[in-house]
Amino acid sequence: MRKPSICGALAKPPVLIGIKVKLRPKHIQDAANDYSWRQDAELCRLDAAPQIRCSFKEFLGNYAEDLRHLNQSYRFAIETMDGKHIGNCSYFNLDKSKREAEMGIMIGNRNYWNQGYGADAITTTLDYFFTRTDMKRVHLKTLIWNNRAQKCFQKCGFVPIGQMVHGEYSFLLMETHPHPIYRGSRVLSRLPGTNIQKPVSGQ
């Protein structure tokens, strides 16, 4: 059976259930956390992004507009199993002909660093895209000095493929393709009557 296009679920993005996290489409209630994280100097340094200086009111207006125009991207909020929003994961620059996308992730809540939440979010989304759509490649860039992030990405199946310089930043380029690491006990299955994806054991 032919798998759906990587753009096929954009009209109704899935909710994904991992081992430690849930990933759901972003909504306006995420704005307060995202505003706080975008003002955090350390988080912005790790994300190679400038700190925002605008008021929350201005940020909220732009945020709402962005949510209405996602421009061929999947934007997930990362939640703990009890529903606490701790970060974000995005798939963007979707290329339907090449069947590939770029990924970005941030765990904004420091209380959940170094505990496997980011890795679970990555592998859960890759499980979905590689087993439930026709995606063949996911790539990303991470700061050349960010060894912690690189180790996490390698753990999730990414391999280095080169380097690039953009402005004042130097990045390591990484990619991954469909691989047995994204199958087995973590294959996702649609729950009847919902858009929730649930891990199914023994497959």
DSSP string, 149-163: HHHHHHHTT-EEEEE
**What is the distance between the alpha carbons of residues 111 and 97, in angstroms, rounded to a whole number?**
40
Class of domain 15-200 as given by CATH: alpha beta
pTM comes to 0.86
Q: In the prediction, which pLDDT does 70 show?
A: 75
Q: In the prediction, which pLDDT does 9 show?
A: 63
Give yes or no for a contact between 189 and 200, defined as CB atoms under 8 angstroms apart. yes
Q: In the prediction, which pLDDT does 101 show?
A: 95
**What is the distance between the alpha carbons of residues 203 and 194, in angstroms, rounded to a whole number?**
21
Positions of the chain with pLDDT lower than 50, given as ranges: 184-203
Query: What is the spatial order of strands in the sheet that 15-17 belongs to?
Result: 159-166, 169-176, 137-143, 100-107, 85-95, 74-80, 21-25, 15-17, 196-200, 187-190
Domain parsing of the chain, residue ranges:
15-200
**What is the distance between the alpha carbons of residues 27 and 197, in angstroms, rounded to a whole number?**
18
Q: In the prediction, which pLDDT does 200 show?
A: 41
